[in-house]
Amino acid sequence: MPGQSGNPGGVPKNKWLSDVTEEMLEEKLKDPTFRQQYKESLWQKLLAKGVVSAMTLDKVWERTEGKVTQPVDLNGNLNVTTVSERLRRAKERKNHNG
């Protein structure tokens, strides 16, 4: 049907895994030691090479904060810039600048 979303109901009603994961992170990140370890782990993912680490970060962000906004310009063209693409470009700039 034209104009209908492929997922008209939105997020599935039974999202216990997301709820438990969010609850776990909220609890664990209150501990400064664990929070620092988590930050270091994320940093290592940012620095890792390959598609898998970038996809992992995309999925973590998507699950916790929703999909990255993809603006549409007045001509109707979709500007698709994913987090992984932004990270790739940042790594290239870092490697180029030393």
Burial of 22-59, coded b for 16+ CB within 10 Å and e otherwise, reads: eeeeeeeeeeeeeeeeeeeeeeeeeeeeeeebbeebbe
Q: How far apart are CA 76 and CA 59, in angstroms?
A: 27
Residue spans of the domains in the chain: they are 17-97
Residue 95: count of CB within 10 angstroms of its CB: 8
Tens digits of residue pLDDT in 47-70: 787 777 777 777 877 877 777 666
For the whole model, what pTM was predicted? 0.46
Q: Which residue has the higher pLDDT, 44 or 81?
A: 44
Average pLDDT, the chain: 77
Is the confidence at residue 76, as pLDDT, over 60?
no
